[in-house]
Structure 1
Amino acid sequence: MALRMGVERNATSDLVVRAPEGASPRAADPRPAPSPQPRSPRFVGRESELRDVLDALAPGRPAALVVVEGEAGVGKSRLVREALTHREVRSAGGVLTAVCPPFREAPTFGPLIDAVRDGRPQGPAGLGLSPLAGVLRPLLPEWAEDLLPAPEPLTDPGAARHRLLRALAELLDRLAVRVLVIEDLHWADDATLDFLLFLTTRPTRTIHLVLTYRPEDLPADSLLPRLTSRQAAGAPHTRLALRPLGVADTAELVSSMLDDDHVSEAFSTFLHARTDGLPLALEESVHLLRDRADLVRREDEWVRHALADIAVPPTIRDAVAERVARLDPDARTVLEAAAVLGEPASEELLFAVAGLPADRARPAADAAVRCGLLTDGPYGRLAFRHALPAQAVYDGLTARNRGRLHGRAGTALEAEPQPSPIRLTHHFRCAGDTGRWLTHGEGAADLALAAGDQSAAAALVHDLLTIPRLPAQDIVRLVRKVPLHTYGRFHNRDEVVRTLRDCLTGEDLLVRDRAGIHMQLGRILHAAGELRASQQEFGWAIDGLVDDPAQAARAMILLGIPTDSPLPVTEHLRWLDRAEELINRAIPAEKRLFYVVSWSTALLQLGEETGWQPAGGFLLDEDRVAPGDVVQLNRGLLNSGACAMSWGRYADARRLLTCALDQASRHRIPGQHMMTAANLVHLDWFQGRWDDYPTRVDALAESEDDPRFLAEKLLLHGLYDLAAGDSRIAEERLGTALDEGLRGGDLLLQAEPAGALGRLRLTAGDVGGALAATDRVTGTLTAKGLWVFGAELMPVRTEALLAAGRADEAERLTEAFSRGTRGRAIPAAAAGALVCRALLAEAHGPAARAADAWADAAAAWRALPRPYEALLAAAREALCRIASGASDQGIAQLHGVRRALDTLGARSEADRVAAALRARGEAAPVVWRGGRRGYGDRLSPRETEVVRLLLNGLTNREIAAALSRSPKTVAAQLKSAMRKSGVTTRTALAVSAAKAGLTPDPVTHPKA
C-alpha cells in the first residue's frame, strides 16, 4: 500500500495537534519544544471485528474457523493479538501461535513445528503420545529420544502424508491446544495447508483456528480458499476482510501515539489522504514526522510545519529508508541483519549475522527497538514489528551486501544444535554458495521426503538441478531421490529438462544411471502432457532397469498407454502383457495396487474388456481398506469411471465417478477431486443434463499446472458453444483443445475435439475444413487399429468424405470401424458405427432404407442414453421418411425433434430443424420452455453488474466482496459474459463492453 505523494502549496495553514480541553496553559516559549517519542498506537477502528472474533472463540462454542484477510499493514495481527488478550479467550485453553516465514523454500510444516518447539522446550515427555507420533522424528529430531520408533514407511505418498497429519493432530491434542493461530498464511507451505484442511474436516475437532493472510499475495493455486468450503457440519466460520481506517479513526490512532492529545481535523485529513488510512503507514508517518522534528510544541499545542515545507514520502519503503538512515551505522547493520534473517532471532544469532561484537551490537539493537522498527518477541527474540519495513530494509541492500549477510546467516545457523536444512538452503542459495546450497538443499529434500511431502522435495531437487555446471554424479543422485513429476507448479521445468538431457550426453554414466535419468525425464514429460515424447524416454530406459522391477513395470505400463505414436495397439498390449508378468512375479502383493490401477486403465483405453476385471475391487468397503490404499483405490474409481464414459457405459460411469468424488472429498485428495468433478460435468454433457451448463464448467477448479485439464475445460465449453450456435467462439475453443491434444500426443484429447470441430465446419459448408480437422486423428486411429475413441470422430469423418465425393474412402472407413467394434461391448463406438452406416445408406438410397438405418442409430443413442445424438439421428430419419413419401410421419417427427432440441438447449440444431419445417410449409414458432426466459447473447442483469465493476478496475475478489457473491460465482459470470461477447480475456471484455455503451459503476465499492 503506497503513501500518495503530491500536496498543494498552502503556506498559510499549519496542521496542529491541540492539547486536550481543560489542560493548564503553558507560558509562551519562542523555541519549539522537542516532539514527543510516539507511543505504540491504541487498538482503534476494529471494535466490530473484535466482537466477531471473540464471539467465535467464546467458551462453550464449537471449534470455529476465523479467517482474517487484508493487505499488508492493515492490522490483521493486531486484531488477533487483541482478541487473544481477552479473558474469555484465555480461559478457553492453550494458544499456539505460528507465523509463516517469507521464504521461497517453505519448510514442511515449518510454522507449526517451530511453534511447537518454542512452546514445548522440554520435549514430549509426559504427553502420552501414541506410537503414531514416531513419524514426527524427522520434523523434531531433538525429540527423537523421547518418541517411540517411527512406524514402517509407507510406499504410497498420500498414505504417508495422511499418517503424518494424524500424528500432528494428536500432538496438538496432547498439548491441550484450543486456539491455533497461523499468521501470514499466504506464505505457508502446502503441507501446512493440507494439515489445516485435515483439521477443519475432522468431525471431532476441538481446536479453534485463527488464520491471517494477504489476498494480494495468495498464490493462484493455494489450498486456502478450500478451507471455507470444507467445514464440518455445524462448525462456525467467521471471515473478516479488514479495510483501512477512516478519517475519524485515523485521528484517534495518531492521538493515541501522542499522549492522547487532540488531533486537528486538518492534520488527520492530511495524513489519511496520504496513507489511505492504512494503520502501518500512519504509524510510520508519525514516527518519521517526529524523527524529522516536524512535530513541535508551540504554546499549548503540537504544531506541524506548513504543508509546503514537507513532502510526505511516496511509499512506506521510502519512509522506512529515511528512518533507518537517521540511525547510527551499527543500528542500521542490526536492522539489515534482521531483515536478511526474515524471522525472529536470538540476540546471539542476530549479532553474528550483523558481524558486531556484543558490546556494540546490544546498544545498536536497543536503538532499533526504541525507534519502533524492531520489537522484543517471545523467548527473547528480536524481529521487525511488521513485514513491510523488513522488506523495505532488505530491498535497500545492495546485491553484494545482501549475499554477504545471507552467507553469515547460513554460517551462524550451521553452528546451532539442530539447524533447519530449509533455512540453510535459503541463505546459502541467496549467498551464491553453491556447494553448501547443494549440501543443505539435499538434506532439506531428504527431510521433506521423510515427512511425506513429495511436492516440497521435488521443488527443492528442481532448484538444485539448475545449479550451473552441476556434476553428473550429483544429478544422478538427486533424480533418484524423488519422482520429479510430483511437483505440480514446475516453475523451472524447461531448465530441469535441459539439465537432464545435457547430462545424458555425457560418456561416463553407468547404464543404470542413464536409465534412471531417462525414466525421470519421461515422467516429467508425461506429467506435462507430452505423452509421445515421454514414451520415447521410457523405451530408452527399460533395458537399464533390470535391477529395478518396480520402475521397469511402471515404464512398461506407460508404454502401454495409447498415444499418437507409431506404436500399434498390438505393441501397446505387448508392453502391458510384459508389465502384468513382471508385477505378478517381482512386485510384493501389498504393493501391487498402484500398478494394477495403472495397468487396468491402459487396457481400458485400448478397448480391452479384461481391463474391467479389477474395477469391482475399487469399490471395496472402506472399512476393509488399508489407509495406504485409499488414494490408489480412489484413482482406480476415477480412471474406471472415465473409461466407462469413453466406452458409453454411462450408468457405470456415473456410479464409479460419484463414488470417487465422494471419497476424494472425504479423504481430501484435491487433484482427484478436481478431475472427477470435470468428468462428471463431461458425463452430464453426454447425457443431456445441460441446465446452467456453462456456469458449471466455469466453476470447475482452475489448474494452470495441468494443460490437459485446461484443454478439457475448453472442450466442454466448445461443445456447448457449438450446440448453442456460437460458432466463432466454439471454433476457437475446440481448435485450442485439439492443438493441445496434438501437441502432447494424447488421443483422449484428440478424437472428441477433432470430431466436434469437423461437425462445426460441415455445418458451415466448409467440407475441406472438416476434412482437415479430422484427417490426422483419423489416420492415427486407423493405423493403430484403435476404435474405442471412434464414436465422436468417425461419423463426422465419414460425412465429410461423402460430401467431398470420396465415397470409396467413406465405405472403407465405415467397414474398418464396424469390424473393429464388432463383438466388443463398447456401446458408444457401436452407436457411432451405426451412424456411419446410416450416412452411407442416405448417400446411396433408397430413402426408406436410409430412414430405417437412422432409426437404428437413434435407438442405439437413446439406449445409452445420449439424447443430443439421438435427436440428431431422429431428425435425419425424419427427413429420409419425408423423402421416401411418408411426409406426414416425417413432419410430425420433425416437430417433436425440434421441441426436444429446444428443451435440451441445442438452439443451433433446433433452428435448423425449424428451417427445414418452414421450407416444407410448416409453421415453426419460437418455443419457450416456461420459467425464466433466457437472455440469449445479451448480458443478464447480474452479469451486467459484474462487468460494470470490471470496468472500474476491480479484481474478481473485489467484485465478489462488493456484490456479496463468491469469487467462483463472479468468475463464472465473467466467463459467461466473455462467451456472449465473443472474447476470451478480461481486457477484451472491457473493450467490448465499453464499445457497447456500458459504463463503470458510479458507486465506489469497498475493496476486498
Structure 2
Amino acid sequence: MAVSEQDGGSGSAAVHPPELVGREREMAELARALDAPPAAVWIEGEAGIGKSRLLREYLARTAGRADRVLLARCPPLHHPQTLGPLVDAVRQVTETVAGLPLSPLAGALRPLFPEWAADLPAAPGPAEDPTAVRHRVFRALAELLARLDVDVLAVEDVHWADEATLEFLLFLASGVPQPVGLVVTCRPEDVAGGSLLRRLAARLAADSVSAAGRLRLALLPLDVAGTARLVSSMLAGEHVSDGFAGFVHRRTEGVPLAIEGAVRLMADRSDLSHGAGGWGRRRLDEIGVPATVRDMVLERLGRLGPDGRAMLRAAAVLGRPADETIIRAVAGLAPGRAQAGLIEALDRGLLDDEGWGQVAFRHVLARQAVYDAIPPPRRRMLHRRAGRTLEALAPPPVGELADHFRVAGERSEWCRYAEWAADLALASGDETTAGTLLHDLVVNGGLPPASTVRLIRKFPFASFAGPARFRELVPPLRAALAATAGDAVQEADIRVQLGNVLLFMGEDDAGRAELKRAIPHLGHDPAEAARAMMRLGWPRSSSWPVSAHLRWLERAAELEVPSMTAADRLGFAADQATARLMLGETDGWALEAGIPDDADAPAEWQQITRANVNLGDMAMLWGRYAVAARRLDTALALADRRRYRRYESVALVTRTHLDWLTGAWDGLAERAAALAESEDILPLARLEVLFVVGQQQAAAGAYGPAAERLRLVLDGEVDSGALADSMEPAAALARLALAAGRVDEALDITEEPAALIARKRTWVWASDLGPVRVAALAAAGRVEEAAKLTAAFARGLRGRDAPGPRAGLATCRAVLADARGEHASAARLFARAAAAWQVLPRPYEALLAQERQARCQIAAGQREVALSLLAEVRERLITLGALGDADRVVSCLREYGVPAKRPQRGGRRANGNRLSPRELEVTRLVATGRSNRQIAETLFLSPKTVAQHLSSSMRKLGVSSRTALAVLATSAEFAQRDVPDRRPGGGAKNR
C-alpha cells in the first residue's frame, strides 16, 4: 500500500478495486447449480448489491467454463431493441456464422443479423402471424447458441430487457430438455406488474426447491463485519477501525456499491487517516459522507479533469458499453485528450473495462447520476452526436438511434429510425415493442395525415390492453382529419381508423358514426369498406332494429374483395356468425360450426382466437354453456400461447362470467377481484368482471355494496352504448330492489331495457331481464302488461334453440301464474323453470326457482313437500356459497316451525380441504422455513396477501398454527394431494 506522510504522520490511502466479500455461500451455491446442467439460476437484489459482480467473479474463477458462457447485458434504453441484448452478445463472440452447420431455419435470423445475410440460409417463407414469426426466430436463435457451443446464457439486468428477450428466456426455460443453461440477474423492485419476468421468476422458483441445477439467490446487504472486510480489501488488506466500519455501514446500509463509492470519495477528499487502530475517518464529527450513491458519484465526477468529465458524460449518454472511438466522437475530443480522459475515468473506478475493447460504467446508478447532471442543452447536443456517430455502424442500432434523435429534438430522424425499429420488431414477431414505438410516433411525432394513417395500419392492436393507449390515439387522428378537410379519400382513410380506435375503446356509437361517414369514400379500399360494414352490422350498441343491422351484414357479405386472404375470409365468417347470433338469428350457428379451433396456417391463428372469444360470448347469451366453455377455453389457450393480450384479458373475463353462471364459484371471488384490479383490462371487460363481483356480493347477502356496484356497472354499460351487455346488470339491480320491496325502482330500472328488446326484437337478450320485468309488473298489479310481455317473449323465441332465454321464459310463465293466484299451476311451472335452468347448468337460478316453487306449494296447501324442498334448497345454497339467499330460506322454514341453522359466515368449503393453486404454493414454501416476507418475494405477492393465503390454508386443513401447517405440508399424504385446476373453471391448459 502506498502511503504518503501528511498531517503529522497520518497516511492518505491508495484505493484498490474491492474484492468480493461476504458472498462465499452464494458463490458455492452458484457453482453447484452451474455444475448440474442445464442450470436455471435467478440472482436478485437491489441496485448496487453485487449481482453482476457475483456472476463475473464466478466466470473469472472458472476460466474453462467462462469460454462457454454467453454474457448478455440489458442496458436501460427508452425503447429496447427486439432481442437486442442477445444479438449484441452473439456479435461479441463471433464475427461471422460462415462455416457453422446451420439448418434452413436459421434464415429467420436475417432481420436480427443483416450483416450475415450472405452466410445465413435463405429467409423462410412468409408467416403473416407474428407469433409464428417469433417462434421460428426463437428456434433459430437457440440453434445458433448450440452451434456456438454456448453452455450457459447469462443475462444481466434482465428487468430492462425487451419483451421478446423475456419471451426467448421463457422459451428456453420451458424446453424439455432445456437446451441451454440460464442465469439471470434482476432487481425485483423494477419489475412491472404483468411483466413476463414474473412468469420466468415463478417458473424458476417452482423448480428451485428440489431440482439440481435450479437456484434462486437473493443477495442481501453486508453486515458491519462484511463492510469492514470490503473496506479493508480496498485499502490493501489493512485493518479498519470498528468505529469507521460502523460509520460506513450506517451511511451505506451495507450496499457494496455505496461502500465502494464512500471509500473512494473519502480517499479523493484525503478524508482517511491511518493510525494505531487501522484506517479510519479523520474527523467523524465534521465531514459527512453523502447518504446516496448519486451524491458520491457527482462529487467524484467533479474531481476529474475536464477531459475525464467529458468522456464520462459521453459514456452516460451512450448508456451502454462502447469503444474509445465512439465515446471520443460523442465527447468531441481529440484522440490524445480522449485517451487521457478515459484512463483517468478508469483509474478512478467510475468506468470499467468490459473486454473486447469496450468500456462502460461500473454500475447503472453511477451512469444515471452522471447523465442526470448533464445540463439539458448539452445533453441534447451529446445525443445528437451519439446519433450521428452510431449511424455509421453496420448494421445501425435503429432502436438506439431513435432514442438519441428523439432526445436531441431531431424529429425527422427520430421518426425514420423509430418506424424502422418497429418494422424490424414486427418482422421478428415482437408486437409489444412495435406497438410501443408506433404509438409513440403517432401520439408525439406531429406527423402528416398520410403518415399517421400508414402507421395506424401497422398497429398490432391485438397486443394492446387497457384503454389509455387507445385514448391517446384519438387527438392525433382528429388533428389529421382537420388537416385533410376537403380531400374525401384521405379523410375516409383517417376516419375509418378513428372509428376503429373508438370501437376498441368501447365508444361504440361514436365509432360507428365515423365508419358510416367513411364507407361511401372507401371505393379505393374495398377490404376496409367491408370491414367497416361488418362492424356496423354488430348490434351491441345501437337501438337500430334487427333489419338495419342485417342490411349492413349483407352488404359486407356481397362486397367483392379480390385481395382478401384466407385469414381475412375466416375473420369475416366469424364476424358474420357473431353478429347474427347477437341478433338472435339461428343461421348464425351454421356459421359458428364452420369456425375451426385451430389452423395450420399461422395467418389464421389470430382470427381463430378472436372468433373463439366472440363465439363463446354468444354461446353464453343463448344459454349454450358447454359450447361457451369450449370456445373460451380454446381462446385462452391460443391467446396465452401466442401472447394476444387483448384477447386473453377479454376471454378471462368472459370465462369468469361463465363460471358465475354455471356455479363454479370456488375461488371465483379471488379471480374476479384480481381481474378487476388489473391494468390490462379494457373498460367494458372491467365492467363485466365488476358485475360478477356485485352478483357474488348479492348472493352472500351484502345487498348494499352489491347494489352500489351493480349500479356502477349498469351506468357504465349504458354510457358506453353496450346495450346488450346492460341487460344482466339491469336485471340484477332490479331483483335487489324487488327483494327490498322497492317495486317502483325495479320498474324504472327495467323499463327502458325491456322496451329496447321489444323494439329491436332481440329476445335472446331477455334471459334475465324478462323474468325480473314480469315480476316487477306483477308486483305493481300490472298483470296484463306482464302477460303481454311474456307472450311477446314467447313469440320472439319461436324457432330458436336458445336454452338460456327459454329458461327465462319458463320463469316468466311461472311468475305470471303466481301473480294470478294459480298457485298449484305456478308450482309446476317453477319446477319446469328450475329444470330448464339446471340443464344449462345454471344452479343458482335453478335453486331460486325451486324456492319459489316451494312457496307456491305452501300457498296451494302442499306444506310438507314444500318444507322438505326448502330444507334441501337451503343446504344447496350454502354449498354453492349463496349465504344471503340461504338466510332467507331459513327464515321461511322457521316461520313454519322447522328448526334450521343459519349458515356460518366467513367462507365456505365447497371442495373440502382442497387448496387453491396459490395456497398450495404458499403452504409448500412455509414447509421450507421461509418467512411471509420471503414467500412474498418469491411469489411476487405482498406479505399481507401471503398471510391471507396462510389463514385460508390453515382453515381448510383444520390446523391452528404455522408449525402444524408446515408439518402437514411435508407429509406423504399432502404430497399426494390433488392439485385443483388452474384455469378459471376447469383444466390447467389455459393459464
Give the alignment's TM-score, normalised by structure 1.
0.86
Q: Which of 69, 84, 87 is 1:113 aligned to? A: 87
* CA shift digits 1:592-648 (9 cap, x unpaired): 33333333333333333333335555556x6x7234444443444443333323322
Matched with 2:337 is: 360
Matched with 2:616 is: 641
Return closer, same or farther for 1:117/1:570 CA change in 2, 3 Å cut-off.
Answer: farther
Matched with 1:72 is: 47
Asked whether the 8 Å contact 2:462–2:646 carries over to 1, the reply is: no
The DSSP-based 3-state class of the residue aligned with 1:138 is coil
CA distance in 2, matches of 1:74, 1:509: 62
Unaligned stretches of 5+ in structure 1? Answer: 1-18, 935-941, 947-956, 980-1008
Matched with 2:430 is: 453
Cα deviation, residue 807, structure 1: 3.9
Return closer, same or farther for 1:626/1:29 CA change in 2, 3 Å cut-off.
Answer: closer
Asked whether the 8 Å contact 1:699–1:968 carries over to 2, the reply is: no
CA distance in 2, matches of 1:865, 1:267: 73
Which amino acid in the other structure matches residue 391 of structure 1?
Answer: Q
Matched with 1:999 is: none
The equivalences for 1:752-831 within 5 A come to 752-831=728-807
Return closer, same or farther for 1:972/1:79 CA change in 2, 3 Å cut-off.
Answer: same
Cα deviation, residue 410, structure 1: 1.1
Cα deviation, residue 390, structure 1: 0.6
The DSSP-based 3-state class of the residue aligned with 1:81 is helix
Matched with 2:960 is: none
The DSSP-based 3-state class of the residue aligned with 1:592 is helix
CA distance in 1, matches of 2:825, 2:819: 11
Cα deviation, residue 861, structure 1: 0.7
CA distance in 1, matches of 2:724, 2:942: 29
The DSSP-based 3-state class of the residue aligned with 1:412 is helix
Which amino acid in the other structure matches residue 279 of structure 2?
Answer: W
Unaligned stretches of 5+ in structure 2? Answer: 911-917, 923-929, 953-991
Asked whether the 8 Å contact 2:623–2:804 carries over to 1, the reply is: yes
Q: Which of 821, 844, 851 is 1:845 aligned to? A: 821
Asked whether the 8 Å contact 1:848–1:880 carries over to 2, the reply is: yes
Which amino acid in the other structure matches residue 297 of structure 1?
Answer: H
Return closer, same or farther for 1:783/1:358 CA change in 2, 3 Å cut-off.
Answer: farther
The equivalences for 1:301-312 within 5 A come to 301-312=278-289
* CA shift digits 1:129-164 (9 cap, x unpaired): 233322322222211222233233222233333333
Matched with 1:58 is: 35
Asked whether the 8 Å contact 1:583–1:592 carries over to 2, the reply is: no
Q: Which of 208, 212, 223 is 2:181 aligned to? A: 208
The DSSP-based 3-state class of the residue aligned with 1:608 is coil
Which amino acid in the other structure matches residue 89 of structure 2?
Answer: A
Asked whether the 8 Å contact 2:847–2:873 carries over to 1, the reply is: yes
Return closer, same or farther for 1:852/1:42 CA change in 2, 3 Å cut-off.
Answer: same
CA distance in 1, matches of 2:567, 2:445: 42
Return closer, same or farther for 1:574/1:422 CA change in 2, 3 Å cut-off.
Answer: same
CA distance in 2, matches of 1:31, 1:800: 99
Cα deviation, residue 775, structure 1: 4.2
Cα deviation, residue 235, structure 1: 9.0
Deviates more, 1:472-481 or 1:194-203: 472-481
Matched with 1:575 is: 552
CA distance in 1, matches of 2:200, 2:639: 15
The DSSP-based 3-state class of the residue aligned with 1:336 is helix
Asked whether the 8 Å contact 2:18–2:260 carries over to 1, the reply is: yes
CA distance in 2, matches of 1:537, 1:487: 22
Asked whether the 8 Å contact 2:465–2:646 carries over to 1, the reply is: no
CA distance in 2, matches of 1:300, 1:888: 95
Aligned residues: 932
Q: Which of 500, 504, 521 is 2:481 aligned to? A: 504
Q: Which of 822, 835, 839 is 1:859 aligned to? A: 835
Matched with 1:1004 is: none
Q: Is 2:268 aligned against 1:294?
A: no
Return closer, same or farther for 1:471/1:672 CA change in 2, 3 Å cut-off.
Answer: closer
Q: Is 2:714 aligned against 1:741?
A: no
CA distance in 1, matches of 2:949, 2:600: 43
Cα deviation, residue 373, structure 1: 0.7
CA distance in 2, matches of 1:765, 1:368: 80
The equivalences for 1:220-299 within 5 A come to 220-229=193-202, 237-298=214-275
Q: Which of 134, 138, 153 is 1:180 aligned to? A: 153
Q: Which of 118, 123, 142 is 2:115 aligned to? A: 142
Return closer, same or farther for 1:39/1:573 CA change in 2, 3 Å cut-off.
Answer: farther
Cα deviation, residue 582, structure 1: 4.0
Q: Which of 357, 376, 385 is 1:408 aligned to? A: 385
Matched with 2:539 is: 562
Return closer, same or farther for 1:968/1:687 CA change in 2, 3 Å cut-off.
Answer: farther
Asked whether the 8 Å contact 2:527–2:561 carries over to 1, the reply is: no
Return closer, same or farther for 1:480/1:679 CA change in 2, 3 Å cut-off.
Answer: closer
The equivalences for 1:604-753 within 5 A come to 604-613=581-590, 615-616=592-593, 625-665=600-640, 672-698=647-673, 702-747=678-723, 749-753=725-729
Cα deviation, residue 501, structure 1: 0.7
The DSSP-based 3-state class of the residue aligned with 1:152 is coil
* CA shift digits 1:484-522 (9 cap, x unpaired): 574446765444311111211234674443232223222
The DSSP-based 3-state class of the residue aligned with 2:309 is helix
The equivalences for 1:955-994 within 5 A come to 960-961=933-934, 966-967=939-940
Matched with 2:858 is: 882
CA distance in 1, matches of 2:315, 2:4: 45
CA distance in 2, matches of 1:972, 1:824: 47
Matched with 2:69 is: 95
Return closer, same or farther for 1:930/1:538 CA change in 2, 3 Å cut-off.
Answer: closer
Deviates more, 1:158-167 or 1:632-641: 632-641
Return closer, same or farther for 1:146/1:730 CA change in 2, 3 Å cut-off.
Answer: same
CA distance in 2, matches of 1:509, 1:334: 54
The DSSP-based 3-state class of the residue aligned with 2:124 is coil
Asked whether the 8 Å contact 2:540–2:723 carries over to 1, the reply is: yes
* CA shift digits 1:397-450 (9 cap, x unpaired): 222121111111111112223212211110111111212222222222222232
* CA shift digits 1:936-967 (9 cap, x unpaired): xxxxxx99xx9xxxxxxxxxx99652568734
CA distance in 2, matches of 1:293, 1:249: 23
Cα deviation, residue 198, structure 1: 2.2
Asked whether the 8 Å contact 2:935–2:946 carries over to 1, the reply is: no
Return closer, same or farther for 1:636/1:844 CA change in 2, 3 Å cut-off.
Answer: same
Q: Is 2:447 aligned against 1:470?
A: yes
Return closer, same or farther for 1:975/1:817 CA change in 2, 3 Å cut-off.
Answer: farther
Return closer, same or farther for 1:157/1:665 CA change in 2, 3 Å cut-off.
Answer: closer
Asked whether the 8 Å contact 2:661–2:842 carries over to 1, the reply is: yes
CA distance in 2, matches of 1:158, 1:507: 36
The DSSP-based 3-state class of the residue aligned with 1:505 is helix
Which amino acid in the other structure matches residue 534 of structure 2?
Answer: I
The equivalences for 1:936-951 within 5 A come to none
Matched with 1:124 is: 97
CA distance in 2, matches of 1:853, 1:670: 45
CA distance in 2, matches of 1:978, 1:303: 51
Deviates more, 1:524-533 or 1:575-584: 575-584
Asked whether the 8 Å contact 1:198–1:668 carries over to 2, the reply is: no
Higher relative contact order (CA 8 A, sep 6+): 1
Return closer, same or farther for 1:252/1:116 CA change in 2, 3 Å cut-off.
Answer: same
Which amino acid in the other structure matches residue 725 of structure 1?
Answer: G
CA distance in 2, matches of 1:846, 1:332: 94
Q: Percent identity?
A: 46
Asked whether the 8 Å contact 2:5–2:11 carries over to 1, the reply is: no
Return closer, same or farther for 1:186/1:307 CA change in 2, 3 Å cut-off.
Answer: same
Cα deviation, residue 339, structure 1: 0.9
Return closer, same or farther for 1:27/1:140 CA change in 2, 3 Å cut-off.
Answer: closer
Cα deviation, residue 374, structure 1: 0.8
CA distance in 1, matches of 2:234, 2:567: 67
Cα deviation, residue 976, structure 1: 9.8
Matched with 1:351 is: 328
Which amino acid in the other structure matches residue 220 of structure 1?
Answer: G
Q: Which of 900, 913, 918 is 2:889 aligned to? A: 913
